[in-house]
Chains A and B, each alone.
Chain A
Amino acid sequence: MKSSTPVIVLTFIVGILIIAEFFLPGLNLANASNEVQNWGVVIAAFALGLAAVNLVRIHGRRIILRRSEWWNSALLLFFLFYMIVVGIIAGTDYIAYEFAFQNVMTPLGATMYAMLSFWIASAAYRAFVARSIEASILLISAAIVMLGNAPIGEAIWARFPALGSWIMDIPNTAAMRGIMIGAAIGAIALGIRVMVGIERGYLGGGNE
């Protein structure tokens, strides 16, 4: 039973059910579609544990083999199990859980992303050069939007916010709508390819 055919057939049946329920209400498929969507929710819930299992495998091995900086793996696993044990036994509103979320997870995650402010300032300096007509348009548009966003731009010239909004509302909307329509056609084509089994990239995971 390692053939891909049953898996493709299952994908097709589930997909067609969801689509038919919507476009052919006369078929009364609402209950079946609802049930299958709830299966999807439960399977997605199971999937949330996959990362933890994978991390235990990889970092457990690193600790056993005393690989370089194995203590970092130990730290990782300690916090992984801390959250799992406290969260499952006491719940996510328990003080020890909220403490870890608010004082460890939130600041670390927020700072990791905040570092992008440094990289974007550095990138603006090194790569944002008006080398061609396209690059010049890009640069001017970005500068106007920035001056429209920052209150100081408004202090320099009162019409910067209006100009920035105009760029967002008109030319930006035109281009993004063009891309959106193109992406929609692409997504529909990809969806059909997945349903009929031409596109099988998602089967890659279980190949052994």
Chain B
Amino acid sequence: MLGTVGTWLAAIGTLAMMSFAWRENPFYRAFEHIYIGIGAGHATVMGWQNIQSNLIRPLQVDRHFLSLVPLVLGLLLYTRFIKGQAYLSRYPIAVLVGVGTGLTLRGTVGSQLVEQVKATMIPLNNINNIILVLGTTATVLFFYFTAKKSNKAMGVTSKIGRYIMMIAFGATFGNAVMGRMSMMIGRVTFLLRDWLSIL
């Protein structure tokens, strides 16, 4: 019984969202609001559960009093809603940005710079390797030496960079088509199989 109610509810929601393709309408707007509410509610619950396990529990069970620091910082985030005190919310953000920046900096150097450059240091003994090396170099140069287009060699390199990027963007578009069609296939399958029991 509950399963049937759920399927009908999901089907009505699906059709409401799809109705936007015809034109924007009140039915769509109602479900759009429901989606935002439910999504924000779910995020809040997940946050609450983490505060329970990663803050309150270490404080209560392990007597880990350093956890009072993120408790204060976390609460300070909400000062942004208090007129005149909003500047206090910058402190927790500073910690988040500091951790994020530190992690990105130390990870990027190895994973995105050194490893990727290393993977481009390959023998130029076949056409694929030549395209990989030339294409990577030309793309990097395209972004970093745009000012030197007057130089003929740079102009040619820049053109190669542009063409190779067009191949990549085309590939991205081709894959985007597959991804987006897959999402609609998922919804139509739900409507035909679970709701209408046609499949």
- A residues touching B (Cβ–Cβ < 8 Å)? 1-2, 4, 6-8, 10-19, 22-23, 35-53, 55, 57, 69, 71-73, 75-84, 87-88, 92, 95, 97, 99-120, 124, 128, 133-135, 137-146, 148-150, 164, 167-185, 187-188, 191-192, 194-195, 202-203, 205-208
Contact = CB atoms under 8 A, between A and B. Distances in A.
Nearest to B129: A170
A76 B36 contact: yes
B165 interface: yes
A61 to B, nearest CB: 13
A15 B98 contact: yes
B128 A142 contact: no
A95 B170 CA distance: 45
Interface of B: 2, 5-7, 9-11, 13-14, 17-18, 20-21, 26, 29-51, 54-55, 66-67, 69-71, 73-75, 77-81, 83-84, 86-106, 108-109, 112-113, 116-117, 119-120, 128, 131-140, 142-144, 161-178, 180-181, 183-184, 186-187, 190
Given A42-B71, A117-B183, A203-B90, A174 B21 contact: no
Contact of A18 (B33, B74, B106, B128): B106
**Chain B's interface: helix, strand, loop or mixed, by majority?**
helix
B50 A45 contact: yes
Contact of B45 (A4, A11, A87): A87
A143 to B, nearest CB: 7
A172 B168 CA distance: 4
B120 A141 contact: no
